[in-house]
Structure 1
Amino acid sequence: MLTFQPLDPKAPIDTQLSAEAAPVVLVNLFTVDPADIDGLLAAWEHDANWMKRQPGYISTQLHRAIGESSMFLNYAVWESVAHFRAAFTHPEFRSALDAYPSSAVTQPHLFAKVAVPNLCTA
């Protein structure tokens, strides 16, 4: 079973789900015992394929930390918090969390783009 920890204790994912923003980016850090990496990847792949079929899903990319780290970062883009909330709280998705290795810890957090002149758009 996956253990959830807030990336920002002032705004855990459960409170972020009540916000309204569009589009949003989910940044999700995973840590896992090195022996459980294959199990984490299998569970994540299953979940990512399920999320891909949900309304409002745009894209996702999984990254693995380099070196001896057993940390992963998932970056997923959604049309809105409402779309992500519907998928994230869906009973089918929640029950699939049991497939993650017991050593797996996740830190999901939602972000909205910020406009900075001459650098990036919101």
Structure 2
Amino acid sequence: MVNFKPLDPEFPIERQFAVDSGPVVLINLFTVDLVEQDALVGAWRSDALWMKKQPGYISTQLHKAVGDSSMYLNYAVWDSMADFRAAFSNPEFQQHLNHYPSSAVTAPHLFEKLAVPNCCTA
């Protein structure tokens, strides 16, 4: 089972669930022992295929750190916090977390797009 570690201990993902907003972007950092990297990717793939079928899902992408690092980053976009919260809290999804290797640690956090004049739109 994956071990959770808050990316921001002052405002962990459980507290973020109480904020109604959207669209939201999930940034999820994973670390895993080198020998369990394939197992991590397999577990993530299973989760991604399940999430793709959920209301409000837009997209996801898994990234691997350059070189010999065993760090991964998942970037997922959702229509709303309510949609992500419903999918993440679903008992069927929670069962999926048992498929991760025991060395896996995840640090999920949710973000909103920010408009910055002359740079990007929200």
TM-score under structure 2 length normalisation? 0.99
Distance 2:103 2:68 in 1: 17
Gaps of 5+ in 2: none
Cα distance in 1, alignment partners of residues 26 and 105 from structure 2: 16
Partner of 2:6, secondary structure, is coil
1:63-107 deviation digits (Å, cap 9, x = unpaired): 000011000000000000000000000000001100000000000
Look up the SS of the partner of 1:29 in the other structure.
strand
Q: 1:9 offset after TM fit, Å?
A: 0.4
AA matched with 2:50: W
CA distance in structure 1 between the partners assigned to 2:69 and 2:107 by the alignment: 16
Give 5+ residue unaligned stretches, structure 1: none
Structure 2 residue aligned with 1:111 = 111
> Partners of 1:97 and 1:31 in 2: how far apart?
15
Q: CA RMSD in A?
A: 0.4
- TM-score normalised according to structure 1 size: 0.99
How many residues are paired up?
122
Tell me which stretches of 4 or more aligned residues in structure 1 moved more than 6 Å. Answer: none
Q: Which amino acid in structure 2 is aligned with residue 91 of structure 1?
A: P
The aligned residue for residue 81 of structure 2 is 81
